[in-house]
Amino acid sequence: MNPEIDTKNKDATDVSSPDQPAGQPQQTAEPAPRAPSETKRAAHSVTVENLHAYYGGQEAIKGMSIKFPANEVTALIGPSGSGKSTVVRCINRMHEEIPGARAEGKVMLDDLDVYDAKVDLTAVRRAIGMVFQKPNPFPTMSIFDNVAAGLRLTGTKSENLRETVHKALRGVGLWGEVKNRLSEPGIGLSGGQQQRLCIARTIAVEPEVILMDEPASALDPVSTLKIEELVEELKERYTIVIVTHNMQQAARIADTTAFMLDGELIEHGPTNKIFTTPEDERTERYVTGKFG
């Protein structure tokens, strides 16, 4: 097994969306959105086996196994404190950055053992990108440099850099809104635009998996809708795991939904089944609003 992860030899086809701000003329100079068949790319699945995660002596994840299928959206739902964020942080090994925190068990990206001692941690985090609840553009950087940041770390040459940054901005539907202000600070954008900028930064390095921890919960309804539409498009090229406390959102965008409670996976299945005919009584009580 090769502990290096090759994410470079992928075509960087963009996933343009007609994301035009209301009241503005349609941008005619834009390249036409590509046909879905051209935007598709087979991503990798993630398999978690018997994961235990700790904060000091507290066991936050108590032996969880789950598979996140490639090119699908999987929603993690459950009450606050049930371990959703901890699980996603274990997938790209960010959990271990928290002082006193550790994880045991297996996380596989296809056939790559993410916790293998020989694995290149930077390559893992490039292959498994993360988007947080609060948009976190680099505060001193321009819009362009925010998206270019990860690419520069990989040594991308400047001509390719420009092209890839522009593609990533088109891919999140932000190009029309920012193309004339690429050198302005990223933090000058609205909250929803900042979140799409952060997603552009993530997809610029062509990851396999995008982890999203409540990516829309700090946003207004219109921006939330844009993020949801974007997630639908992104699964053509990436495997997506999204933590959400919003059950309507899970129902709208997730292919499968996993319900967690007290550090355990209670049930994982097709989203429609989880919300209408779940197997476990605790899932039913949660999705019908009886607790949480």
Q: Could you list the residues that contact ligand ADP (CB under 6 A)?
A: 55, 60, 78, 80-86, 98
Residue ranges of alpha helices (H) inside the chain are 36-39, 84-91, 121-127, 143-153, 158-171, 175-178, 191-204, 221-234, 247-253, 271-276, 281-287
Residue closer to ligand ADP, measured from CB, 204 or 247: 247
Least distance in angstroms from the C-beta of 154 to ligand ADP: 29
Buried b (16+ CB within 10 A) or exposed e, 224-246: bebbbebbebbbbbbbbbbbbeb
Residue closer to ligand ADP, measured from CB, 25 or 57: 57
- What's the distance, Cα to Cα, between the start and end of the chain in Å? 42
Least distance in angstroms from the C-beta of 51 to ligand ADP: 12
What is the amino acid identity at position 156?
A: T
Q: What would the two tokens of residue 290 be?
A: 């009886």
Handedness of CA 214, 192, 235, 12 (dihedral sign): negative
Q: Which residues neighbour 287 within 8 Å (Cβ) at sequence distance 6 or greater?
A: 77, 247, 259, 274, 275, 278
CA distance 222 to 269: 29
- For 249, the 3-state DSSP assignment is helix
Least distance in angstroms from the C-beta of 53 to ligand ADP: 8
Least distance in angstroms from the C-beta of 55 to ligand ADP: 4
Residue closer to ligand ADP, measured from CB, 83 or 137: 83
Residue closer to ligand ADP, measured from CB, 146 or 283: 283
Residue closer to ligand ADP, measured from CB, 19 or 104: 104
Residue closer to ligand ADP, measured from CB, 98 or 222: 98
As beta bridge partners, residue 130 has 211
Least distance in angstroms from the C-beta of 14 to ligand ADP: 32
Least distance in angstroms from the C-beta of 85 to ligand ADP: 3
Residue closer to ligand ADP, measured from CB, 83 or 173: 83
Least distance in angstroms from the C-beta of 133 to ligand ADP: 10
Q: Which residues neighbour 227 within 8 Å (Cβ) at sequence distance 6 or greater?
A: 192, 195, 196, 199, 215, 216, 219
